Structure 1
Amino acid sequence: MSLKYSYEAAVAFLAGLAALLAPDLWADGAGRAPLMVLGVLLVLAGLYGLLGAAGPGAWTVTAFAALLFTAPWAWQFTGHDGAAWTAWIAGGAAVIVALYTLYTANRTSEA
């Protein structure tokens, strides 16, 4: 397999990596389970996309990123700034890029 660069896959990979590492590096263990699980899912989705393998598509990445964005409210760690802001920024960025990728792919297929 050769590496294929796509913004969606790269952002998903980096957002997942940030979420995966956050509990131990800067979030003092807050939100450990949701951040690590959703981080691993985003990292794997990003790797599949970067390697060009058949795997999760942009809708799957969007769903994982949206879950990451809502995790501070769902698992009630909004009071822990490091964990909450990591989830909001990483999840929000990944959702925006994945939706933009879907939008541009849809526009090019219609033309």
Structure 2
Amino acid sequence: MTGPSTNPVRPWTRPHDWAEVVLGAVLALSPIWLSTDTAAAWTMVVLGALIAIDGLVSLAMPGMIVGEGIQVVLGALAFLSPWVMGYTGFMGAAWTSWIIGGLTVLVGAAAVPVASAAHRMAGQH
């Protein structure tokens, strides 16, 4: 029997994806309260927005495995961005990028098995 009450693949319920939305929002908004330059601010805003948007897409479509892989890549980019974009001198911005980037990689990687199971369950209907 498959129905809403027995289907574990429910949108908007996965904590991993909510964490990604929050992490992305914090990264995107952090230039408001941190000292940055233009490159740092735009990097943080764009990567943060992409992380949050991908988290929202994963929440809406819990069986989409590719979204978790995208999260891992975006997290890695956020982690590397202080060196690549040259804002390691802005310690608050750099540490925010390193922490948010690392957490995004961890949360995205942890969500892969959950998304895989949701994908398999969605395919059984």
TM-score bin, normalised by smaller chain: 0.7 to 0.9
1:1-111 pair list within 5 angstroms: 3-25=11-33, 27-30=34-37, 31-52=40-61, 57-103=67-113
Q: How many residues align structurally?
A: 107
Cα RMSD for the two superposed structures: 2.6
Residues 16 and 105 (structure 1), Cα distance of their counterparts in 2 relative to 1, 3 Å cut: closer
Q: Separation in 2 of the partners of 1:66 and 1:59?
A: 11
CA deviation after TM superposition for structure 1 residue 53, in Å: 6.9
CA deviation after TM superposition for structure 1 residue 100, in Å: 1.9
Residues 47 and 103 (structure 1), Cα distance of their counterparts in 2 relative to 1, 3 Å cut: closer
Q: Separation in 1 of the partners of 2:22 and 2:49?
A: 11
* Aligned-residue identity in percent: 28
TM-score by length of 1: 0.81
Letter in 2 for 1:29: T
Residues 61 and 32 (structure 1), Cα distance of their counterparts in 2 relative to 1, 3 Å cut: same
Structure 2 residue runs without a partner (length 5+)? 1-9, 121-125
| 1:39 aligned counterpart, secondary structure | helix
Q: Separation in 1 of the partners of 2:105 and 2:80?
A: 11
CA deviation after TM superposition for structure 1 residue 6, in Å: 1.6
TM-score by length of 2: 0.73
Q: Separation in 1 of the partners of 2:35 and 2:52?
A: 21
